[in-house]
Structures are given as C-alpha cells and as structure tokens.
Amino acid sequence: MQLALPSSGVLAARQQGTRRRLLTLSLACGLLSLAAILSVTFGTRDVAWPDIARALSGQSDTIGAAAVSARLPRTALAMLAGAGLALAGTALQGVTRNPLADPGILGINSGAALAVVVMLAWGSLETGTAYALTASLGAALAAGLVQAIASMGRGRATPLKLALAGAATSAALASFTTAIILPRNDIAGLAQSWQIGGVGGATWAQITPVLPFFALGIALVMLTARRLNLLALGEETASGLGENVQIARGLAVLGAILLCGAATATCGPIGFVGLVVPHLMRALIGVDYRWLIPASALVGAALLTGADVAGRLIARPAELDVGILTAFLGAPVFIWIVRRRKLGAL
C-alpha cells in the first residue's frame, strides 16, 4: 500500500500560506518596534535621538534623557500587559470555542480587581508579588463562578450562556468593588485611578516582581498551541486523537489566569485587548494556534503600547489612560462580532 503524497498544488498553497504568516509576523515585529520608539519619544515633553541614546546607555544627565529613562519601564509594562492580555484572550477563545471570550467580558478582570481592592481595604499588599498572587486568585475564582453559572440548567455551557454569565458576573463584581471603595477614603483615590486601567508611573521595581507570572503564563499558553488546535476539532475528536482534554484546557486556562492576574495587578483592569487582537490575527494569519499565539502576543503588545502613546498625545499635556482608549476600540468590535454571528447562533 502506497501513501498518497501531496500534489504540487497543495504544496504550493502550503508554502504560500507559510510565506504569508511569516510576512505577518515580520510586520507585527516592525509595528511593535515602531510603537516602542514612539513610546519613548513622545509625551509631555518630546525628546530627540541623542537623548534616547543617552538614556539607553544608562545616562540621564539631560532633561530629555531623564524623560526617556522614566518612559522605558512604562513602555516595557505596556508591551508585557498587551501581550499577556492578547494571549489570555486567544487561549480563552480556544478553550471555550467562544468568539466572545475575553478576560473582561468573562468577568476575569473584574474578579482580579475585586480581589485586589478587598486586600487593599482589609488586608495588606506591600509587594508586587502579593498584588499578582491576589489578582490571580481573584481571576481564578471569577472564571470558576462564570463557568458554574453558565453550566446551570439544561445543556452545556454554550458560548451565548458564557457571554451572558460573564457579563452578569462582571457587573456584579464591579458593583461590589465600588461598594467597598466608596466608604473608604483612605484607599478611594488609589483604587479608583487604578480601576481605569493604565501604565502611567510604571517603574522597574513595580514590574520586576510580576515578571515570573508573565513568563509562566506566556510559556503555558505557548505550550498549549498544538493542544488548542486539537480542541478546535471538538472534544470527542481531540480525545480520539489521544489528547487529554481536561489537562489541555486546564493548562491554557491557568496560563490565561496568570497573565490576567499579572496585567491587572500592575495596570488595573484593561478590557477588549483579548477580544480584538485574536479576531484580527485570525483574519490575517489563520486559525493555526502555532502561528496565532505568537502573532497575537506581538500585536497585543503593539496595540497597548500604541494606545498609551495616543493617550498622551490626544489629551496633551494631560493623559488618557489606555483602559479608556481600548474600551473605545473594543466596544465597536464586540458589537460587530455579535451582529456578524447573530447572537442566538453563537
């Protein structure tokens, strides 16, 4: 018995697809590099290339170089948070097979925010690691609650039920958060500004403790790329091909929770990045998670960094936090997805 070899047409199509994906990844890298350059260049005070060079060499002997030195950790945080939220959204959409899956829409960001506010009000958060652990725990509890609510009644947790349960849970958790903050004048200013979601004022001391959470979350999502491809075929098919569905889903969800927890702990709850980026990348690069995951990470980092730059320029000399800009961008995309897929058929 001879194995059928792919025809020349099939091989040519595969090569063309690979070239298109490599080109998309290259463009994403270029877009991220451009966003990083703009981020250290523009702000309340614009700087020139010599000042950027001084800051990168560790000097801050001029006002411009000092401004760049202050913007470097802000740029790094925007890139980390953007990549993390985009990867979390990609993983959640793959696990749930739900086009509306997003850390914000499913209530995960709200759960992380509520946990942090509870600890600020009645506990003690003195280190970045404590913030990240608290936010990750809150994100995990919120994810479990949404899944439990969506699984109630007849049938399984469909995409529509998950979206509705996530929206209801997110609203309830946000209300609880507000109820905790309002009577506490000692934390009200900090908590309310943090809830908007932004990367302003970031320092290396703030970023360093959460790097292990970002690193582990990114690694878990990257390692589940092949598993997510199998899950996209359906649980029964994936099991038939030898995949342990529960382990695959658990690893992907754990990675998403760690990324959401780290991003929320350092930036506050930022929505819609995990919704917009995966849909854009599927249109450009296809549904293969081995390509989709790294592309989403690069574009997510570029998107949040670019949004931060836009927020500085739009309201100059003041600033608009990135959480506001991503909401303006993400809300129309959410409506478009719902209308395109006819919500009842999700």
Q: Where are the domains of the chain?
A: 25-55+78-345
pLDDT tens-digit series, residues 177-218: 889 988 888 777 777 777 788 888 889 998 999 999 999 999
Q: How much is the pTM? A: 0.88
Average pLDDT over residues 276-282: 89
What integer pLDDT is reported at residue 308 of this predicted model? Answer: 93
Q: What's the token pair of residue 195?
A: 């809830």
Please, what's the b/e burial string for 3-42 (b: 16 or more CB within 10 A of its CB; e: otherwise)? Answer: eeeeeeeeeeeeeeeeeebeebbeebeebbeebbebbbbb
pLDDT for 7: 63
State the SS3 of 15-34: HHHHHHHHHHHHHHHHHHHH
From 3.30.1330.10, 3.40.50.2000, 3.40.50.720, 1.10.3470.10, which CATH number describes the 25-55+78-345 domain?
A: 1.10.3470.10
Per-residue confidence band for 341, with pLDDT thresholds at 50, 70 and 90: low
**Could you read off the pLDDT of 171-188 as tens digits, one per residue?**
899 899 889 988 888 777
Q: Single out the residue of 205, 75, 77 nearest to residue 129, CA to CA.
A: 205
CA distances to 101, 236, 249, 261 from 148, rounded to whole Å, are 16, 22, 16, 20
CA distance 270 to 86: 11
